[in-house]
Chains A and B, each alone.
Chain A
Amino acid sequence: MDLTAVTIPEIRQGLLERQVSAEEVVRAHLDRIATRDQEVRAYLSLSPERALEQARKIDRKMAAGQALPPLAGVPVAVKDVILTRGLKTTCASRILENYVAPYNATAVERLEAAGACVLGKTNCDEFAMGSSTENSGFFPTHNPHDLTRVPGGSSGGSGAAVAANLATVALGSDTGGSIRQPAAFCGVVGMMGTYGRVSRYGLVAFASSLDHIGPFGRSVRDVALVLQTIAGRDPMDSTSADVPVADYVAGLDQDVRGLRVGVPKEYLAGLNAEIGDNIQKAIDLFAKLGCKIENISLPHTAYAIGCYYIICTAEASSNLARYDGVRYGYRSRKYSDLRDMYRQTRDQGFGAEVKRRIMLGTYVLSSGYYDAYYLKAQKVRTLIARDFIEAFDDVDVIVTPTSPIPPFKLGEKMDDPLQMYLADIYTVNASLAGIPGISVPCGKTKSEPHLPVGMQIFAKHFDEARLLQVAHAFEKAGGFAIA
């Protein structure tokens, strides 16, 4: 039995039947990482002692006849924008190259309390800014399905780690698609809950009104199990929602017959045929499962990219003002005075994309441009959110492609930031509205080298149970392997 190609219930069964120990599961992953990750490069740093110590704790519980916590012995990878006490948390940025987190993110705290074993920290675009993981300040990650291509981003390391069996599940962060798009590119499941569903405490801030922590897994059930563990009110995050967390796993096998599946025309017009074919087959599968397919319209879709990049850069320029070389992180060795120290530190510490976004954000917030850009974008955000609220009067879920294009070659889009931004066209809308979204695999492209295609499902605020139920029904019906 390959201990790395397993799901959470399989690990649990193996432990309960005493076929494997948690330590063996963790060691199998560390061994695989030692070889396979030399070419995938999903991890920035590893934490073998922490993972093994946790695994041995689980094994002792088992030996003592104690009940196992829900994620006992589950190897998890954590995106390096999420704080892990005592481990480096770099945000894939030179400016935080030596930063050691003094506390755990709530999501990490809850995962470890549930028995999960943190294997290490995964690569990403610097400060989660990007759609390919090429903006990492250290090195790019490669798509496990084709090493010459990007894994998507910004949580590309987490997506690639799960796809290459270098972790069973992973945490990522999603601001405008940073979990869903790499999940699509890597052929795994990735989910962003409703804004506020998962505490952001310990997530390094990029755009606070849009940031989420969420799970990656190879099955919908694994994603549901992780979300179940990390979701819920946290007194340390004032924006975390005081809304009860449903039993996501219990609802997975409910019948989807009669559910109304909305297909927005704006997401299909002019779509890449390789992707469009798979999405059409996915829609046909939902019809076969007894769902009612409804054609709907989300009329402000085309404005989402402009709106998103104004709001996220504005918030980023404010959030990243804290990197000044005073309290933590890198400080330039050469400077003339305090102000020069700030400028030299930030110039040497930040990469090009981070600087570009700080510049854009500063511009749209600056005197004379605030109303024309920032206020305008906030108003358009209202219209985009309203599109979804009105659509959900008529449908239960909405189905779309996750990405307009299949995984592209490393280096292909690096010189054209606007083209890179436009690749987020199907993911940023849900982020702006604050609704939950999941990306699940829906087959592969027809042409060589047969790259993964992702389908996205949206539900209304706090309807994660419905989202997971529909995604699970699709998986069970063979939707992940659409030919």
Chain B
Amino acid sequence: MALTEKDVRYVAALAHLELAEDEVKKFLPQLDSILEYMQKLNELDTTAVEPMAQVTYPAAENPALREDRPGPSFRQEEALGNAPEPAASYFKVPRVIERE
């Protein structure tokens, strides 16, 4: 096994996931076998191959960006409607900056 419990905890921290001890133990062999399976790609020599980040297609004109014109948008109460802790006109979060 190439992956370690330490790796699993490190990646969980990067992803802002709090994993319980039993989850770390469960994920370790699963992630390890999947990552090992992914090594199969190394059978292919891709030194001269361009990476493909997006599906591209020949189109006469593909205006990726629309014109920057103001249009209707959410009212404030709509934008805040799904907030887990509603506040008057903003999203409420725990204190981020401590007072001295």
Q: 8 Å CB contacts to A: which residues of B53-72?
A: 53-55, 57, 59-66
Q: Is the CB of A243 within 8 A of B31?
A: no
Q: Is the CB of B57 within 8 A of A355?
A: no
Q: Which of B23, B43, B49, B84 has the most CB of A within 10 A?
A: B84
Q: 8 Å CB contacts to B: which residues of A291-329?
A: 300, 302-303, 305-307, 309-310, 317, 321, 324-329
Return the CB mask of B5-29 against A: 1 if under 8 Å, else 0: 0011001101111111001001100
Majority secondary structure of chain A interface residues (helix, strand, loop or mixed)? helix
Q: Is the CB of A306 within 8 A of B38?
A: yes
| A257 located at the interface, meaning its Cβ lies under 8 Å from any Cβ of chain B in the complex | no
| A341 located at the interface, meaning its Cβ lies under 8 Å from any Cβ of chain B in the complex | yes
Q: Is the CB of A375 within 8 A of B51?
A: yes
Please indicate the chain A residues that have their CB under 8 angstroms from the CB of B59 in the complex.
241-243
Q: B31's contact among A303, A327, A350, A356, by CB below 8 Å, is which?
A: A356
Q: B11's contact among A239, A339, A366, by CB below 8 Å, is which?
A: A366
How far, in angstroms, from A22 to B42 measured CA to CA in the complex? Answer: 57
Q: Is the CB of B42 within 8 A of A376?
A: yes
Given known A-B contacts A241-B59, A347-B18, A359 and B31 have beta carbons under 8 A apart: yes
Q: A346's contact among B8, B11, B16, B26, by CB below 8 Å, is which?
A: B16
Given known A-B contacts A341-B94, A346-B18, A383-B49, A359 and B8 have beta carbons under 8 A apart: yes
How far, in angstroms, from A418 to B19 measured CA to CA in the complex? Answer: 20
How far, in angstroms, from A359 to B38 measured CA to CA in the complex? Answer: 15
How far, in angstroms, from A243 to B27 measured CA to CA in the complex? Answer: 44
Q: Is the CB of A379 within 8 A of B30?
A: no
Given known A-B contacts A235-B66, A306-B41, A343-B16, A383 and B85 have beta carbons under 8 A apart: no
- Selecting from A149-157, A277-285, A330-338, the interface stretch reads A330-338
Tell me the minimal C-beta distance from A148 to chain B in angstroms: 25
Please indicate the chain A residues that have their CB under 8 angstroms from the CB of B31 in the complex.
356, 359-360, 363
Given known A-B contacts A102-B82, A347-B17, A355-B23, A417 and B30 have beta carbons under 8 A apart: yes
Please indicate the chain A residues that have their CB under 8 angstroms from the CB of B12 in the complex.
359
Q: B17's contact among A99, A327, A343, A461, by CB below 8 Å, is which?
A: A343
Please indicate the chain B residues that have their CB under 8 angstroms from the CB of A239 in the complex.
54, 64
Q: B15's contact among A327, A335, A358, A385, by CB below 8 Å, is which?
A: A358
Tell me the minimal C-beta distance from A129 to chain B in angstroms: 13
Please indicate the chain A residues that have their CB under 8 angstroms from the CB of B81 in the complex.
100, 102
How far, in angstroms, from A243 to B82 measured CA to CA in the complex? Answer: 36
Q: Is the CB of B94 within 8 A of A378?
A: no
Q: Is the CB of A339 within 8 A of B34?
A: no
| A382 located at the interface, meaning its Cβ lies under 8 Å from any Cβ of chain B in the complex | yes
**Size class of B's contact patch?**
35 or more
Q: Which of B16, B54, B79, B93 has the most CB of A within 10 A?
A: B16
Q: Which of B7, B12, B57 has the most CB of A within 10 A?
A: B57
Tell me the minimal C-beta distance from A89 to chain B in angstroms: 10
How far, in angstroms, from A463 to B30 measured CA to CA in the complex? Answer: 39
Please indicate the chain A residues that have their CB under 8 angstroms from the CB of B54 in the complex.
209, 239
Q: A303's contact among B40, B49, B50, by CB below 8 Å, is which?
A: B40
Q: Is the CB of B51 within 8 A of A328?
A: no
Please indicate the chain B residues that have their CB under 8 angstroms from the CB of A358 in the complex.
15, 17
How far, in angstroms, from A99 to B81 measured CA to CA in the complex? Answer: 9
| A195 located at the interface, meaning its Cβ lies under 8 Å from any Cβ of chain B in the complex | yes
Tell me the minimal C-beta distance from B83 to chain A in angstroms: 6
Smallest CB gap from A344: residue in B: B18
Return the CB mask of A48-75 against B: 1 if under 8 Å, else 0: 0000000000000000000000000000
Q: Is the CB of A326 within 8 A of B91?
A: yes
Q: Is the CB of B17 within 8 A of A355?
A: yes
| A462 located at the interface, meaning its Cβ lies under 8 Å from any Cβ of chain B in the complex | yes
Smallest CB gap from A435: residue in B: B55
Smallest CB gap from B56: residue in A: A434
How far, in angstroms, from A296 to B23 measured CA to CA in the complex? Answer: 45
Q: Is the CB of B61 within 8 A of A376?
A: no
Q: Is the CB of A331 within 8 A of B35?
A: no
Please indicate the chain B residues that have their CB under 8 angstroms from the CB of A241 in the complex.
57, 59, 62
Tell me the minimal C-beta distance from A288 to chain B in angstroms: 34
| A139 located at the interface, meaning its Cβ lies under 8 Å from any Cβ of chain B in the complex | no
Please indicate the chain A residues that have their CB under 8 angstroms from the CB of B26 in the complex.
352
Q: Is the CB of A209 within 8 A of B17?
A: no
How far, in angstroms, from A251 to B62 measured CA to CA in the complex? Answer: 26
Smallest CB gap from B55: residue in A: A434
Q: Is the CB of B74 within 8 A of A102?
A: yes
Q: Is the CB of B33 within 8 A of A418?
A: yes
Q: Is the CB of B83 within 8 A of A379?
A: no
Q: 8 Å CB contacts to B: which residues of A200-233?
A: 209
List 8 additional A-B contacts (Cβ < 8 Å) besides A338-B94, A382-B52.
A303-B41, A306-B40, A326-B84, A355-B17, A359-B12, A363-B35, A379-B51, A383-B46
| Between-chain CB contacts (< 8 Å), 22 pairs | A238-B64, A241-B59, A241-B62, A243-B57, A306-B39, A310-B41, A317-B15, A329-B82, A329-B84, A335-B94, A346-B15, A355-B23, A356-B31, A362-B14, A363-B31, A376-B42, A378-B51, A379-B50, A383-B49, A418-B33, A418-B34, A434-B57
Q: Give A contacts to B, CB under 8 Å.
A: 98-100, 102, 194-196, 209, 235-236, 238-239, 241-243, 300, 302-303, 305-307, 309-310, 317, 321, 324-331, 335, 337-344, 346-347, 350, 352, 355-356, 358-360, 362-364, 366, 373, 375-383, 385, 417-418, 421, 433-434, 461-462
